[in-house]
Amino acid sequence: MFIVYLILLFLLMFSVVKIIYPMVIDSYFKGDKFLAVKNRIQQHIDECNELNEHIESLKLSYAYVQTCDYGEGQLSDTSSYNMKRKQWATKLNNKWTHQCSASIVKNASDQPYKYFCKYFNINADEATLKQFEKVLNDFSAVEQGKLLLANERDAILLSIRNSIPSHILKNHHARVVSELGFKNISMSQLYFPSYAFQYISAGGNSSSQFVLTFDIAQIERFIVYLAGLLKIKNSIAGQRALMTSNLRERIKNRDGYTCQICRLSTKDEKNLLLEIDHIIPLSKGGVTCESNLQTLCWKCNRSKGSKVYSADVVINPLQTGSERLDTTLPPKVSVSTGSAKSDKTWLPNVSASTDSAKSETTLPPKVSAPTDSAKLDMTRPPKTRMPATVLQNSTFEGDVASNAETKQKSGLSRPQANALRSAKEYLECSGYSRKGLIEQLHAGDGYDVSDATIAVDSLNIEWKKQAMKSAKEYLDCSGYSCKGLIEQLHKGDGYTLSEATYGAEQAGACS
């Protein structure tokens, strides 16, 4: 009888542990109390997941380097002898492994960078240096971002510790994280690309291999190696600095660890991921020097992309309550050249207006202050668009009206009023033809062609003066003949032939 009681007790305990308790836990995670906690912090969870996706995307910066594709097939031993050939099984057939002789493997181990460039099709030129500088910047952001993201997640969980039963937090921590909706944070460094030189003997009984892994320290050393081959010296823009870890920290410190677009800083948000951005992108001819670098938060840097940002910095999104939003626009960013001329090396010689550097100029994302005072302090406040019904007053050079009309006064629709405001901001930064400005608003900012046209035509612009402004910008960065500059303004920027001729003459190219 005692044995029966023991069996019954065991079955009862088993049912409690394996059936009843899991059902209780499941009911908690599906209950109103847990769902209320999840809804309260949903915005912060979404922002953590968004940062997580950004970090994962940065890991793909180095996907373009590979060896030659020599094809692939199946190798088998059809001899009558019982040969093991065990090393054949270790052969790697992929685009990141170069099959070679034993001597090349040994030489690659002695001079890794030289043989990496030779056998993985890496050209020792300025373009390659720029690519690796970007990879270094992205990978550095990944390593910093992983830690900041983990700290952010832990801070959010800490803030709700009193809202979730302690035994559930202790015994089911991983499930709490999953049920709240946090995506898994990968702390692995397997994303660092590895390239191998492998030798397998014909008999399959001997082999050797050298693996070169490009972690952050290795990329920094490779950049120095490339710079040495290129023998980079002083230029008009000053000594070119390589994008090292020390340089990135120096730029952040110079900018006060503050995003130069949204003005958010690590003082406002402890776990803010800051990245270093080229004001004039490398793809547009920019260089890695302090005057061409700025600190951006990861969201602003992602939205900026490869575009040249030279518009006004927007308001601080952390101003709340009764504080008046400061809409005073700070000075525009620019590259210092050490001379009276401005550095505009990104300007192309002759290209279609849709592909020109001007079409790449973009305005920063609009932000406004959060209104929910219950938001957690450790995460970024929500962003919304600024109202566009009333345009800010601004003064333009000569040919642009000094005061912007409001939507009500001008009779423009909301999209047209927004396009008008964007057009005025663009004209503050650079010279534009009528055609080029309409194209910029349409292709660059997504306005309808009709709205963009109405907005541009509502401005009182002397396009000849704009042509002169553009001509001076081109002459500041490069030499042009009279005919060449007229052709650039006409075919490249969309000015009429008479406007282009006037601009070139007034800029002094034809005298």
Q: What is the spatial distance between Cα 185 and Cα 146, in angstroms, rounded to a whole number? A: 7
pLDDT in tens, 98-123: 889 999 999 999 999 999 998 888 88
Q: What is the pLDDT of residue 63?
A: 61
Residues 6+ apart with CB under 8 A from 200: 87, 88, 90, 91, 99, 206, 207
Q: What is the pLDDT of residue 94?
A: 80
* Cβ count within 10 A of residue 21: 11
pLDDT at 338 exceeding the cut of 80: no
Q: What is the spatial distance between Cα 326 and Cα 237, in angstroms, rounded to a whole number? A: 34
pLDDT in tens, 477-489: 667 889 888 988 8
Cβ 96 vs Cβ 210: under 8 Å: no
Phi/psi at 456 (5° precision) = -65, -40
Say which residue, 253 or 288, is predicted with more confidence: 253
pLDDT in tens, 342-351: 333 333 333 3
Give the position of tokens 């043989």: 115
Q: What is the pLDDT of residue 72?
A: 64
Least confident span in 272-286, 293-307, 308-322: 308-322
Output the average pLDDT for the chain. 75
Mean pLDDT computed over 231-248: 55
Give the three-state DSSP class for 79: coil
Q: Comparing C-alpha atoms, which of 267, 256, 359, 348 is closest to residue 307? A: 359
Q: What is the pLDDT of residue 211?
A: 94
Q: What is the pLDDT of residue 223?
A: 87
Say which residue, 500 or 414, is predicted with more confidence: 500
Q: What is the spatial distance between Cα 486 and Cα 483, in angstroms, rounded to a whole number? A: 5
- pLDDT band (50, 70, 90) for residue 248: confident
Least confident span in 3-12, 109-118, 262-271, 461-470: 3-12
83-87, 211-215, 290-294, 425-429: range with highest mean pLDDT = 211-215
Q: What is the pLDDT of residue 148?
A: 92
- pLDDT band (50, 70, 90) for residue 64: low
Question: pTM of this prediction?
Answer: 0.53
Tokens of 247: 């340089």
Q: What is the pLDDT of residue 77?
A: 66
Q: What percent of the chain has pLDDT over 70?
A: 71
Mean pLDDT computed over 174-186: 92
Per-domain boundaries in the chain: 7-33, 262-316+357-386
Tokens of 66: 């590979």
Say which residue, 211 or 325, is predicted with more confidence: 211
What single-letter amino acid sits at 147?
A: L
27-36, 323-332, 444-453: range with highest mean pLDDT = 27-36
Cβ 383 vs Cβ 372: under 8 Å: no
Q: What percent of the chain has pLDDT over 90?
A: 27
Least confident span in 70-79, 134-143, 349-358: 349-358
What single-letter amino acid sits at 19?
A: I
- pLDDT band (50, 70, 90) for residue 191: confident
